[in-house]
Amino acid sequence: GIISIEDGKTYLNQMELLIWTYKNKGHRNNQMVLQVAHPADMLLQDPPCLRLIDTRIQDGRLNFIIYFRSWDLWGGFPANLAAMQMMKEYIASEVGVEDGEIIAASKGLHIYRYVWELAECIRGKTIEEFRRGG
């Protein structure tokens, strides 16, 4: 269901609400954003990296606009995009529209030191060569 109560707490299933709204209120709804962020996240040492998934049905296609505050290019980016694509395809099929585009942004796309050598092998240059423009 869309709303559930467990241990005295009320929970909202955002994905089910999004699907219900698009199916019952129409595709031109500009309010369907899957929120991950909470104001209290500012107090956390390591808040969730994914902040929101904004959605838009345009020309019969479901599009996602995704924002990550921080994003691991090696360990997160491929798996995260694959999962978002699968979720978008599921929602599109439930709503009865075509699969659309993903526009993704991050203010903190990064790669950790433990994978530098692998990244250098794939790119074909060391970080020093890259910085020199070589």
Query: What pLDDT shows up at residue 134?
Result: 60
Q: How far apart are CA 31 and CA 21, in angstroms?
A: 10
User: Residue 121 catalytic?
Assistant: no
**CB contact at 8 A, 35 and 5:** no
pLDDT in tens, 33-71: 999 999 999 999 999 999 999 999 999 999 999 999 999
- Per-residue pLDDT for the chain (134 aa), expressed as one digit of tens each? 899 999 999 999 999 999 999 999 999 988 999 999 999 999 999 999 999 999 999 999 999 999 999 999 998 999 999 999 999 999 999 999 999 999 999 999 999 988 888 887 777 777 777 778 76
The residue ranges of DSSP E strands in 2-77, in sequence order, are: 3-6, 9-12, 33-35, 50-58, 61-68, 71-72
Which of 94, 48, 97 minimizes the C-alpha distance to 70?
A: 48
Residue 43 burial (CB < 10 Å; 0-12/13-18/19+)? exposed
**CB contact at 8 A, 15 and 92:** no
Catalytic residue among 2, 15, 33, 49: 49
Q: What is the CATH number of domain 3-132?
A: 3.30.572.10
Q: How far apart are CA 3 and CA 9, in angstroms?
A: 10
pTM of the model: 0.85
